[in-house]
Structure formats: C-alpha cells, structure tokens
Amino acid sequence: MTAIRGIAILGTGAVLPRSKVTAGDVDARVGKWAGWTRQRIGVIDRYFCADESQIDLAVAAANQALAAAGCLAEEIDVVVAAAAVPYQPIPATAPLIQRRLGIPEGRCAAFDVNSTCLSFVTALDMLASHIALGRYRRGLIVSAEVASRGLPWDERPEVAALFGDGGAAAVVGTGAGNQGIVAARLETYPSGYEDCELAAGGTRFDFNRQPAEFAGHSLFRMDGKALFRRTLEQFDGFLDRLLGECGWTREDVDVVVPHQASPGALHHLIRRCGFRRERIIDIITRQGNQIAASLPSALHEARIAGHLRSGAKALLLGTSAGISLGGLALIA
C-alpha cells in the first residue's frame, strides 16, 4: 500500500452513558456467586444506556472531538458513521448525526461504514485517502454503539457480561508532511463467518413470514472459543505482515491502540505479540467491549494521556466478525 502522508487526527472525543453496571450487578443479574464476573470475565465496569440513544452518544462524542480540533461543525465536509449496529437499517445513521450537529442541509456528505468492530479503522483508512486526494478537507468519524440492547443474558451470560455501550469520534484533516498513515492492512477469513453474528434485522429472516426465526436471531451470538482460536492462528502472521509493510519493528512502536475485545484478548496481545505492556492502551476492564466504539475510545484515551505526541508511531489493531483482522500504522 502507498503511504498517505500529510493527514492528521485533529481531535478526538469519547463518552459513556450515565448508568454504570458493575461486576457485582452482573453477578446478581445472572444468578452467579459474588465475584464470578470479575474472576471469569475480567470486566469490572461497563455502562448501559437508560434514557440515552445511540445518536445522543454519537453527537456528544462528536462535539468533544470538534472542540478538541478547534473546528466548527459546519466546517466538516463529510460525516462517517462507523458502527456495527446502526440506529435503524434505512436511512443510514450519518445523516441523522449531521442533522443533530446542526450542519446545514447540503453542506457535507454523510454515509455509514460497517466492518463491525473494525469500522473505525476502515473509515479512517478510507477518509484519509479522500482527504489526500483533495475531495474533502475535514472529516468526522463517529462510532457509537448500544450493545446492551441485544445481549444473550439467559443463554450466554459469559458473553453478555463482556459488553458495554459508548461513543467515540475523531476529526481528521490535513497535517504536517510526515504525519499520516504509513501502512494499512485488512485480512478476512470468512470460514469464521458464523462465529460472531446478530442475524436478524436484515434480509435473512422475513419478519412477517418467519416471526419465530426473526425473534430467535435478534440477540447477539458469539462462539468465543472458536473466535479466539481462529484469531490466534492468524494474528501473529498478520502483525508481521503489517509491520513489514511499514518497515517498523515492535520496538519502534510508541503506542498500540487495540480493539478492546476482552481482557483475555489483550493479555494475548501483550504475551504473544512482543509489545511492552505500558505501550498498550487497555480500557476493557473499565468499559467493556463497546464493539466499533472500543478502538476510537482507546484512541481518545491515548491522546489525552499524551501518547499521541507529534511524531509518535502508533498501531491501531483489531479483529472483527467475519472474521477480519485489521490494522493501521500511523505517525501522529
């Protein structure tokens, strides 16, 4: 891949719903002994929407990112909603975010990008290309998820307890000549297509003719063991190929911003991939897996903690349903 230079993340934002759900709350909900969630799952706190909507989270995160970038909403040329589950199937979510931000009619483009947990990475790679070509000057990527709406509490509490709601956003625009994406890589292994799915809501099941099937597939389903095994088989080689494309060693990387899939997945990253623990952004125990919002939330954490100083080498890494492995190597 050709490097995309002169592109910068100008500002980020991240928000959580007001309602915190602790590991103890989960223990009580699923009828387990005190300490089960903390010991078995590893997620201590997650946040669930009560009266907030997905659009509320998106707009709050977007406004933070705009303020951090010193940018007005009407200066945005394109709004990209990057989430696994949209607000509704039709229309796309991005036009509603545009309207809630007060961006005038016709002022910008607005569309959605969905590669499940890797949606932000995909959107950033795509938007950087458009900015480099001069099609847009500034773009806004927003990832907001309400995972709590479709979790399998009765059937798979160990899966349900991993997830939390949240929103994150980034303003992307032109930067200094050395800033930008050095390499990007996405590899897909569709043999694992059924390992992680939310099957209802599209065209697979007809709501009128197949109401039982539609209802039965309206909850999230994940075979965590199969997903982890397939990822384990491929991830080390994927990482080597990504680093090879950008000419970096593991020691060259200043900060790793991973998708917050699970505490176990992050421990694997630390143990198997050769990065120093202090260089890996870890928010999974405090916020849970926020699907597509996880990685940009971790990116915001990296920025406010000072890890994305000018010239820093960062890796954005993740996996997604499908199954896909994805990553961006960028210079802040």
Q: Which of 108, 130, 217, 289 is catalytic?
A: 289
* Among 130, 259, 300, 307, the one annotated catalytic: 259
Plot region of 274 (φ>0 → left; ψ -120 to 50 → alpha; else → beta):
left
- Annotated catalytic, 130? no
For residue 289, indicate whether it is catalytic. yes
- Number of residues assigned to the chain: 332
Residue 313, C-beta contacts closer than 8 angstroms, at least 6 positions apart: 182, 248, 252, 253, 254, 255, 329, 330, 331, 332
Q: What is the DSSP letter of 280?
A: B
* HSE, side-chain direction, 13 A CA sphere, residue 202: 7
Query: Of residues 108, 117, 196, 246, which has the active-site annotation?
Result: 117
Backbone angles phi, psi at 9, to 5 degrees: -85, 110
Q: How far apart are the first and last CA of the chain?
A: 19
- Count CA within 13 A, CB hemisphere, residue 259: 26
Short-list 18, 325, 258, 297, CA closest to 142: 297
| 49 annotated active-site | no
Catalytic residues: 117, 259, 289
